[in-house]
Amino acid sequence: MPHRKSTRSDRTTPPTIVIATRNLHKLEEIRAIFSDLPVRILSLADFPEIGEVAETGQSFAENALQKARTVFQHTGLLTLADDSGLEVDALGGAPGIYSARFAGPGRSTAENNRKLLSLLKTTPREERTARFRCAVALVGPHLETVVEGVVEGHIAPAPRGEAGFGYDPLFVPQGYTRTFAELGSEVKNRISHRARAFQKARKILHRYLEQEGR
């Protein structure tokens, strides 16, 4: 039987939620978004026995829900899981759910970025439109829902900036001239697809905790 931890504690102890990720960059972004909520945040690094969670869904929402259900079943704790990626119009929506392994399993972020730029080499600026999409699933006692956040933009002709991770050096959000990697975490955490999805999740979480008497 999986080890399940109690979701209840005395009112002086903040409720615990699990963010279903081992990605430290992503965890930092989410902690910043939830910084004003009285919750204790754990990640998959706190549950090494869970191992890798398979992502076999056909959409970001399906993958996020799959991860959140699996982690909740193992921990008994309210779990938030996300799946996100880049959709490039000129590539028919690719890399999409394969964003993290676009250049192949085990390939680096730099290799993913190089492949993307190579495929768009002859694509003019006006056709390099793209968006980041993020789905966040919340699963816990009496709760199962998914929300999405999207930010539109375009793909730069070359990597720019040192902040962020993934495709951030290539993605210029709509209304800006700099990439996510140039804008830095303060701006990105306010306007990104993940920020928008987790802000929606934050509202649901706040209502849920109130209803549960927390």
User: Which residues carry out catalysis?
Assistant: 83
Q: Is 3 exposed, middle or buried (0-12, 13-18, 19+ CB in 10 A)?
A: exposed
Cβ-based neighbour number of residue 114 at 10 Å: 15
**Contact 172/149 with Cβ under 8 angstroms?**
no
Using DSSP's 3-state secondary structure scheme, residue 59 falls into coil
List Cα–Cα distances, 211 to 82, 143, 204, 214, in angstroms: 23, 11, 11, 7
Q: Give the CA-trace dihedral at 103, 108, 109, 111, to 10 degrees.
A: -50
Rounded to an integer, what distance in angstroms lies between the CA atom of residue 104 and that of residue 91? 17
Rounded to an integer, what distance in angstroms lies between the CA atom of residue 102 and that of residue 114? 10
Q: Is 6 exposed, middle or buried (0-12, 13-18, 19+ CB in 10 A)?
A: exposed
